[in-house]
Amino acid sequence: MEQYLLNIIAGSLAGIIARIFMMRLDYRQYPGYPHGLISHLSLGAIAAALGAVAIPALINKDFTAFTFLALAAQQFREIRNIERETLQNLEEMRLEKRGKDYIEGIARTFEARNYLVMATAFITSAVALAGLWYALAAAVVLLIASVRFMAGEVVGDICEVVPAEIHFKDTLLFVGDINIMTVGLRESREKILHDALGVMIKPLNDNSRATLHDMGQRMAISHTAAVIMGSKNEVDRPEFTPLVRKNIDTGAVALYIVPLEKDIEALLAAVRRTPLLESARLKPLKTQAGRIASD
Amino acid sequence: MSEAAKEILAVITTNRNKVAGAVPIFIADSAEEKEKVARYLASTLDAMVHDLENGVYYIVKH
């Protein structure tokens, strides 16, 4: 196997570097737990090593070793379960829930990233047969590809996000023309008028309208806004819970939040940067019926 | 925002003719007292005060 040492090292290194790069993207949607970082880096390293040794194993006609990749896939599915369980357990104690869709999305991303690492290592190790410089070039291309293509879209890409006015009709709270809830206490109404912010999220087409219809996506928006802006929500003051409600006629949604930092520009940026959940990305315009209906 | 069962925990009113039934009913003498009782109940029950706009407040756990 010694003549393949270069392949293995090149592949493993490329894979580990890819994992480190993708780790940076992780932290946009996942708070920085140092131990989580360690475990994901080590699993990434294992994935990279597995991908890198696959090529020498194939060349040596060691097909049994190749089947170990299947075993690895099993392990990575386990990562998804672990990640999901952790987040679900933490969720119970959160005032602003991430929502099941968001958790599922994060868990799936963590699994998929290990496959990306494995693929990066595999391809780099294969190209390394042609020479070190080729391997280097391949690794760079793969790194850019995994970071660029896996970054995912954000709400700002498919929706127009604009400030909206908070007002009351008697006790009904409205953001723009969208009814959010009823607030019984006069004191709370005054505080909401004084402190709350409203944002209108207008879908650009029928695809984005279907995405905003998804409750999971809406929870992700209110969760992100609350994490970034802070929230005056408290266990005994549920009227300050951030909410996202839809205009049933237009499909636009409104976000209501009582932030700790009353800064509308920051809130708009937070909403625009909210990741679009894979599970919420519906594309009715890709179907014939959807295109006809959109006229 | 979760879809857990919603439940009326208490009703506060100044008009006892408007309410009946199997929830705790608190009768207040004035609008101020109604507001205050509602606030205290809601904060101990971790629930929210809603106004039916006919003189009846009710407290719901969301």
Distance CA A16, CA A150 (A): 16
C-beta separation of B47 from B61 below 8 A: yes
Q: Is it the case that residue A108 has pLDDT exceeding 90? A: no
Q: Is A118 helix (H, G, I), strand (E, B) or coil?
A: helix
Tokens representing A10 are 């090149």
Q: Is A285 helix (H, G, I), strand (E, B) or coil?
A: helix
C-beta separation of B55 from B18 below 8 A: yes
pLDDT digits 0-9 by tens, A163-183: 999 999 999 999 999 999 999
Tokens representing A51 are 């991908």
pLDDT digits 0-9 by tens, A220-257: 999 999 989 999 999 888 999 999 999 999 999 999 99
Do β-strands B25-27 and B7-13 pair in parallel, antiparallel, or remain unpaired? parallel
Q: Read off the pLDDT band of A28 (50, 70, 90).
A: very low
Determine which of A93, A103, A171 to mutate to test the interface with B (most B C-beta atoms within 10 Å): A171
**Of A187, A222, A238, Cβ closest to residue B62:** A238
Give the pLDDT mean for B5-22.
90
Greater model confidence, A159 or A64 = A159
Q: What is the DSSP letter of A218?
A: H
Place of tokens 């868990």: A107
Greater model confidence, A149 or B43 = B43
Task: Report the pLDDT value the prediction gives residue A279, as an integer from 0 to 100.
Answer: 87
Burial state string for A227-241 with b = 16 or more CB within 10 A and e = fewer than 16 = ebbebbbeeebbbbb
Residue B54 touches partner A, C-beta closer than 8 Å: no
Distance CA A225, CA A48 (A): 35
Residue A192 touches partner B, C-beta closer than 8 Å: no
pLDDT digits 0-9 by tens, A253-286: 999 999 998 999 999 999 999 989 988 888 888 8
**B62 chain-A contacts, CB cut-off 8 A:** 238, 241
Place of tokens 């994901």: A40
Ordered by start, the domain boundaries in chain B are 7-61
Give the pLDDT mean for A127-138.
90
C-beta separation of A138 from A124 below 8 A: yes
Q: What is the mean pLDDT of chain A?
A: 88
